[in-house]
């Protein structure tokens, strides 16, 4: 199919598709002549994934590129690809280690993870600290600075909850054929986030209604 048809079938404007091609978010089409290229179903699929990551997952274009590059990287195995993709996701401002509040938050996070038996550092050697861990530290620091300190004990039920959901997440991923699993894992990681946050806000509304009925 031509770029115009790709545009029509995806609902993404031709100009935007050209932009994504330039930025390397989509691989170039198969060149037919000097001025024309042909796109296939795989391009359509990838374009839809890009739009989903950007619009629903709020992933910046540059990070989306990294995520997609990791997905396609034939050099890496299953878990490296997934790891690289997830680490490319946005994770907010880095913690400021000069700040004593950050140091305390880091201790809280370490205590929590140790208690849970999670290894938050990458595989072997001098692996960098995982972005999700940094994200956690930043959030705990910010809460503490605002006067809402949370201890490892406060966080444990949240961690246990996420631990249970991770089992469901991986079960869901295993429904798919092995060669589809990495993409499925990324899509489910990112696109279940709004599902989770939406359900959480609804659940809070329910619980608040239950407790403070007539106020």
- Binders of its own copies in range 70-129 (CB under 8 A): 77-79, 82-83, 86, 89, 91-93, 113, 118-120
The site partner of 158 among DNA, its own copies, none (C-beta below 5 to 8 Å per kind) is its own copies
Interface with DNA includes 60 (CB under 7 A)?
yes
What's the DSSP call for residue 150? -
**Contact flag: residue 187 with its own copies (CB under 8 A):** yes
| 28 vs 31: CA distance, rounded Å | 8
Q: Which residues pair with 38 in a beta bridge?
A: 30
Contact by Cβ (8 Å): 173, 184: yes
Quickly count: other Cβ atoms within 10 Å of residue 114's Cβ.
12
Q: Of the candidates 19, 87, 176, 192, which one interacts with DNA according to CB under 7 A?
A: 19
Minimum distance of its own copies from residue 99's CB (angstroms): 9
Helix (H, G, I), strand (E, B) or coil at 36: coil
Number of Cβ within 10 Å of residue 53's Cβ equals 24
From the list DNA, its own copies, none, partner contacted by residue 15 (C-beta under 5 to 8 A by kind): DNA
Binding its own copies (rule: CB under 8 A), the pick from 126, 128, 179, 212 is: 212
Report how far residue 119's alpha carbon sits from residue 206's, in angstroms, rounded to the nearest whole number: 35
Residues found near DNA in the complex (CB under 7 A):
2-4, 13-16, 18-19, 21-22, 28-29, 31-37, 39, 54, 60-62
């Amino acid at each position: 199919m031509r770029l115009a048809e790709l545009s029509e079938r995806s609902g993404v404007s031709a100009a935007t598709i050209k932009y994504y091609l330039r930025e390397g978010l989509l691989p170039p089409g198969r060149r037919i002549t000097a001025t024309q290229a042909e796109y296939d179903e795989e391009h359509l699929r990838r374009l839809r994934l890009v739009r989903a990551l950007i619009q629903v997952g709020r992933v910046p274009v540059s990070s989306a590129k990294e995520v997609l590059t990791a997905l396609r990287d034939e050099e890496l195995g299953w878990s490296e690809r997934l790891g690289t993709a997830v680490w490319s996701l946005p994770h907010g401002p880095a913690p400021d280690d000069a700040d004593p509040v950050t140091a305390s938050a880091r201790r809280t996070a370490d205590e929590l993870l140790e208690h849970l038996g999670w290894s938050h550092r990458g595989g072997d050697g001098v692996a960098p600290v995982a972005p999700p861990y940094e994200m956690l530290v930043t959030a705990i620091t910010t809460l503490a600075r605002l006067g809402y300190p949370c201890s490892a004990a406060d966080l444990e039920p949240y961690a246990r909850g996420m631990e249970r959901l991770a089992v469901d997440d991986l079960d869901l991923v295993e429904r798919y054929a092995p060669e589809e699993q990495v993409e499925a894992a990324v899509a489910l990681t990112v696109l279940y986030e709004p599902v989770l946050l939406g359900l959480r806000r609804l659940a809070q509304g329910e619980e608040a209604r239950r407790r403070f009925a007539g106020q």
